[in-house]
Every structure is written in C-alpha cells, then in structure tokens.
C-alpha cells in the first residue's frame, strides 16, 4: 500500500522527484560520462541498444512526423536534454525521454546521454505519469489513463492530481470520465478524429453501440460541436418517445389483463411478442375449467 508520505513525494511534479543537479532544464548539452557525481544518479553516454522503453509508459502513440522533425534537430544539434533511465541488470529502462531515444535511433546514433537512477517500480510509474502530463504531449485518452492510474495505484484524489498538474479538479474528473465511453469512441478521440467537446457530449448516451453509431455520424458528416449536441439530443428524445410508447402499450395490455381477471374470476396473463402473443388463463380444478368454458360458450 502506498502511504501518504509516498504521495507527497511527488511535490510540485517531476522536478520534486529529481535532485536539483538532475533537473532536465539545468543539465544542458551532455556529451560524455560524468563520473564525479556523488549522488546516487549520474550522467553517462549509453549504448542505444542497451536501452529499452518502459512498458508502463503512458504515451502509446508516437506521431511519426513529429519524430522525424525531432530526429532532424538531433542530427544537427545532438541530444540537448538527456533521457532518464533506470538501471536494470544488463539494460536500462526509459523513465522519461522515449521520444528522444526513438528519434536518436532514426538518426542512427550509437549512444545517447542519459541520467541513470535507481528507482523502484512505483517511483518509475509516478515519474513517467507526471513527466508526460506536464509535457502535455499525450492525447486525451492517454492523459485520462494517467489520471486513472494515479487514482488506482497511488490512491490520489482528483484534488491531489489537480494540485500536482496545475489543472482544476473538474477538468481531472471530466478527463477521467472519457474512459466510460465505448472503446471504439475512445480510439476516435486518440486518433484526433473526434473533438473532445463532442466526445464529452456522448457520455449522456448509456448504450455503447449507440455511442459508436453517433460518433461515426459526427465524424462522417463533419458536424460542429453544436450540430453534434443537437444530434445527441434528438437521439435521446427519440429514445424517450419510444420508451413512453412502449410504456403506453404495456399499460394497455395491463388494463386488458385486469378486465379479463374481473370477468373470468381467475388469473390471466397476456404475453405480447413482436410477431405474436398469447393469453394464459389459469384454472384450479375440473369444475373451475367447466365454469370458464361455460362463460365462453355464452358469448356465442
């Protein structure tokens, strides 16, 4: 279990997890190993093939065009900001800086500057989450998953998260709520096909298939936020009308049942199907059956 002390360790964000000499913005260009550091961490040029991405990295989608642009910058100026890695046996796991590592591989660099630290799994996850959130390079679904992990793994409240990342509590709650959408709709958001505002409007639709159907209509017809809202509202009203009509039909059959019960003096149930229905009349003895049959005979 993660204690409150662990939670407070996040401080004001990523910077609080790194000692002052390690903060990325203060490092500058690093091109060779630094063996004079007395702290637990140190900076070293690492063989790029000994570095592996973090499987718990919140960011899952890396825009290829953006990577190519970063690669050109690295080719011209080198890796200005070292990546942060965790030493694990014979390899190093990336904590922060996977884009720089990927771009360096595109360029064909043999080594990259890295800050080497020794963290446990919980610390690694905290840093990876906060670093990505603060850089604002996640798509909305990745960001929402970050917040959810902070809640589930570190028992953060929305208020805690809001304080760490400099956003309002309502914004955090709103982002997390996106994870209640159908997975297919979430993919549309992640792929930037569906606007965030449009996606949030879909949360009032409980049926996942209807969510997906409406999302497709919004995308295919290039609807504005207002048009999307109108489409969703019309769908809700249509659904409510159908529900009311169904309720009226049910009430009608209920009234018929009650009338037959009063007439026949026994329990009667009507089962209505899409193409056919049936009436069930109960009797409790042969004499009771004869009584009911006689009543029907008198109808001739």
Give the residue numbers annotated as catalytic, written as ranges. Answer: 98
* Whole-angstrom distance, CA of residue 82 vs CA of residue 99: 11
Q: Which of 221, 206, 59, 63 is nearest to 140 (CA)?
A: 59
Q: Which residues pair with 86 in a beta bridge?
A: 93, 117
What string of DSSP letters covers 84-153?
Answer: EEEEETTEEEEEE-HHHHHHHHHHT-SEEEEEEE---HHHHHHHHHHHHHHHT-S-HHHHHHHHHHHHHH
Q: Give the 3-state secondary structure of residue 1.
A: coil
Structure tokens belonging to residue 90: 């014979």
Asked if 43 contacts 30 with a C-beta cutoff of 8 angstroms, the reply is yes
Task: Say which DSSP state 280 is in.
Answer: E
């Amino acid at each position: 279990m993660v204690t409150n002390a662990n939670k407070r360790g996040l401080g004001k964000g990523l910077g609080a997890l790194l000692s002052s000499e390690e903060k990325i913005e203060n490092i500058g260009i690093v091109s060779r190993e630094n063996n004079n550091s007395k702290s637990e961490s140190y900076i070293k040029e690492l063989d790029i093939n000994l570095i592996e991405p973090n499987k718990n990295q919140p960011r899952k989608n890396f825009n290829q065009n953006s990577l190519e642009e970063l690669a050109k910058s690295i080719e011209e100026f080198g890796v200005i900001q070292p990546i942060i890695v965790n030493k694990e046996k014979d390899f190093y796991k990336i904590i922060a800086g996977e884009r720089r590592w990927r771009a360096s591989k595109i360029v064909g660099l043999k080594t990259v500057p890295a800050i080497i630290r020794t963290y446990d799994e919980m610390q690694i996850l905290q840093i990876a989450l906060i670093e990505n959130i603060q850089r604002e390079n996640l798509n909305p679904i990745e960001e929402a998953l970050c917040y959810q992990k902070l809640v589930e793994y570190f028992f953060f409240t929305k208020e805690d998260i809001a304080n760490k990342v400099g956003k309002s509590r309502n914004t955090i709650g709103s982002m997390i709520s996106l994870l209640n959408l159908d997975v297919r709709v979430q993919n549309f958001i992640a792929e930037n096909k569906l606007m965030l505002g449009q996606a949030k409007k879909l949360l009032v639709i409980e049926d996942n298939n209807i969510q997906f159907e409406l999302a497709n209509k919004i995308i295919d017809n290039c609807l504005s936020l207002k048009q999307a809202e109108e489409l969703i509202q019309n769908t809700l009203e249509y659904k409510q009308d159908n529900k009311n009509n169904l309720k009226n039909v049910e009430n009608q059959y209920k009234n018929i049942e009650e009338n037959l019960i009063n007439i026949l003096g026994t329990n009667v149930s009507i089962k209505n199907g899409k193409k056919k229905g049936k009436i069930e009349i109960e009797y409790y003895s042969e004499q009771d059956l004869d009584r009911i049959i006689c009543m029907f005979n008198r109808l001739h």
